[in-house]
Amino acid sequence: MTRTLHIYALNRPSELRHTHLTRAQGARPDLPPLAGWLGVGDLDTSEIEIFPVSDLGDMGLSDYVATAFATREDIPPATRAQIDALSGSVLLVPDLAMTGTPHPGADLILMATLPLAQPDNSMDMDPVPVNRIAAPPAPDEMDENGRSGPGGVVWIVLAVVVIVVLLGILL
């Protein structure tokens, strides 16, 4: 099933901001009855965005939508021109946020419905070889400076050999 994003223009003035960013910043505005505006049974408001288009500054709404919602393909030029020309506020609603088919009322004007990118997990892939990393040495294998390996043992063996050779020369 293709997932879609519905883009609505608000047919009323609004300075309401309810976006992924404002939610991450902890803002919890009082939302109007958006499910009623959309004519759906239920609406997951954690998935929708509503904001003044002017918040985007020089970025076009089509560029924002393509980036933030990962549209599956390029937005057709006529649709891009139409949504980039919007002023006022917009409501962006992924279909997963709604129960039922939307039948917007007078408060909203449907401007576009765009397909969203979907993961494709159908490809068979060979397992990736895993290179095992050696476990770090146990603390009792480290010298007094926290170094591991044969360094300390080699020095002890070398010292013993030197002592034996010196004793052999002196005796």
Query: Considering the chain, what percentage of its residues have pLDDT values greater than 70?
Result: 86
CB 4, CB 114: distance < 8 Å:
yes
**Mean per-residue pLDDT, 1-9:** 88
pLDDT at 87: 92
CA distance 3 to 167: 86
Over the chain, what HEC string results?
Answer: CCCEEEEEEECCCCCCCECHHHHHCCCCCCCCCHHHHHCCCEECCCCCEEEEHHHHCCCCHHHHHHHHCCECCCCCHHHHHHHHCCCCEEEEEEHHHEECCCCCCCCEEEEEEEEECCCCCCCCCCCCCCCCCCCCCCHHHECCCCCECCHHHHHHHHHHHHHHHHHHHHC
* Backbone region of residue 26 per phi and psi (left: phi > 0; alpha: psi in -120 to 50; beta: other values): left
pLDDT at 48: 94
CB 46, CB 93: distance < 8 Å:
no
The answer, yes or no, to whether residue 131 has pLDDT greater than 80, is no
- Band the pLDDT of 84: cuts 50, 70, 90: very high
CA distance 28 to 19: 10
Query: Considering the chain, what percentage of its residues have pLDDT values greater than 90?
Result: 52
pLDDT at 79: 93
Task: Render pLDDT for 140-158 as a digit per residue (tens, 0 to 9).
Answer: 656 566 665 556 667 777 7
Sequence ranges of the domains in the chain: 4-115, 146-170
